[in-house]
A and B are shown apart, each in its own frame.
Chain A
Amino acid sequence: MSEHERAAWHSNPWGMAAIDISGRVSAVNPVFEYSTKLSATQLIGLSEADFDHILSDLPFTDRSRINVTDGSIRAIHYVRCQECTERDHTLSRIAEVLREPLASIYGFAELLLTQHYDEQTRQDLTVMLLGQAEVMANLINEQLENRTLWSRASDNRLPEDHE
């Protein structure tokens, strides 16, 4: 497995299990272990039939099997648990909330760097940039304290204007 494939395997938001050409489970990624509450040690070496039997008893929101025609892997099973789906949704919402002030920081910084403004405008933009950095710092601190950001994320609301 290349570095890139290894990274994709470990960071994939789907639970993944590989079936080798002999028809046995040869590898599972961390999300698969988390989703099934079964360890790699319990799963690796199982026949695909036994493995399927175990999976059929577990509640997944999504499940699929993709045939692989390359190398020593015959197929990959993908699973998705409800908890992972909900967690990903919340993380996605948090990303959206944080992108708002980040958009201003990124944008004003780029404009200051690439455009010619008079001194007063430069100062005004710098003040706005600093203000948005403070907004972002506050959001992160709120998140670390497990407060408003999570509720904003789950309420599907964005922060009020911060000027």
Chain B
Amino acid sequence: MKKIMIVDDQPIIRKMILLALQDEHFVLTEACDADSAYQLMLKDKPDGIVLDVMMPGQLNGFQLCERIKQSPELSGIHVVLVTACGQIADQEFGRALGADAYFVKPFSPVALAMHMKEALLKEST
């Protein structure tokens, strides 16, 4: 079983992603901001994270992504940024921080689920 954390300040977006990722291969957890997500992932290291960019709190999604990818303990987490920032520069910035994928809202939850399966399940087979 692979653990995926869904981080978005909007419950309705979390619900949508949760529904899309519900699968016998995944254990899903949720966080409503990057700060609590960071605390949670230190305890319960997920294999993947679906991370919103613009969130209230001390950390935004870009900053959490950077922190994950710079941490020796967490850098293996597959980070997918989901964001309403559609500009190419934002996407390039996300990738420069080490994000593994970038989905611009509105995105296909089915495509997101396929991406997570390919990224997380392929490596375990």
Residues of A within 8 A of B (CB): 92, 95-97, 99-100, 102-108, 110-111, 114-115, 125, 128, 132, 158, 161-163
Contact = CB atoms under 8 A, between A and B. Distances in A.
Contact of B110 (A95, A96, A111, A158): A111
A99 B84 contact: yes
Contact of A103 (B11, B13, B85): B13
Contacts of A115: 19
A128 B20 contact: no
B34 to A, nearest CB: 14
B85 A96 contact: yes
B87 interface: yes
Given A105-B106, A107-B109, A111-B20, A161 B12 contact: yes
- Chain A interface mostly: helix
A95 B85 CA distance: 8
Interface size class of chain B, counting residues whose CB lies under 8 Å from the partner chain? 20 to 34
Interface string B95-107: 0000000001111
B106 A99 contact: yes
Given A100-B84, A106-B106, A111 B16 contact: yes
A6 B18 CA distance: 44
Given A95-B86, A99-B105, A110-B109, A104 B12 contact: yes
Interface of B: 9-13, 15-17, 19-20, 54, 84-87, 104-110
A96 B84 contact: yes
A161 B86 contact: no
Given A103-B106, A114-B110, 20 more contacts: A95-B84, A96-B85, A99-B86, A102-B105, A103-B13, A103-B105, A106-B106, A107-B16, A107-B20, A107-B106, A107-B108, A107-B109, A108-B16, A110-B108, A110-B110, A111-B110, A128-B15, A158-B84, A161-B10, A161-B12
Contacts of A106: 106-108
A158 B12 contact: no
A11 to B, nearest CB: 16
A16 to B, nearest CB: 19
Contacts of A132: 12
Nearest to A103: B105
B12 A163 contact: yes
A158 B108 contact: no
Contacts of B109: 107, 110-111
A112 to B, nearest CB: 10
A111 B13 CA distance: 13
Nearest to B106: A106
